[in-house]
Amino acid sequence: MSTTLFSNLLPNIVNVLEVVTESELGTNPDLKKKLVQASNTLRDDFGRAKEAAINLEGGDISLEEQEEIAEMLKGLIARKRLVLRNFARDIDTKAAAPEVKMDIDLDSTASTPAF
């Protein structure tokens, strides 16, 4: 679905209002024709916008079901944030732990290549 469909509604409304304002100043056939065209365009655009809104994906879900899904997603977000906090805490704990030095004796004979 294109957002252009909905973004054209306001300019079309403005166009109809401008034509109505012009037609109040006079009643010539050209203004009447212009008003009919602008009105028909607006009516058609409203019809297409209504049809697009009706056919939106997920439009068959009731408000109660939408609220249940939203609550489920909020719970999921809370659990993910908890996992991230715990992970960050564990990282901080490990970063604050003292460095352990290990003394390793290497056998110099074993590590020296033979000639």
Q: Mean pLDDT, to the nearest integer, of 97-103?
A: 64
H or E stretch at 35: helix 29-54
Residue of higher predicted confidence among 31 and 45: 45
Q: Is the pLDDT of residue 92 over 80?
A: no
**Strand positions, DSSP E, 1-115:** none
- Predicted confidence at residue 29, as pLDDT, reads 81
Model confidence at 106: pLDDT above 70: no
Q: What is the pLDDT of residue 69?
A: 94
Per residue in 56-70, pLDDT (tens digit) is 887 678 889 989 999
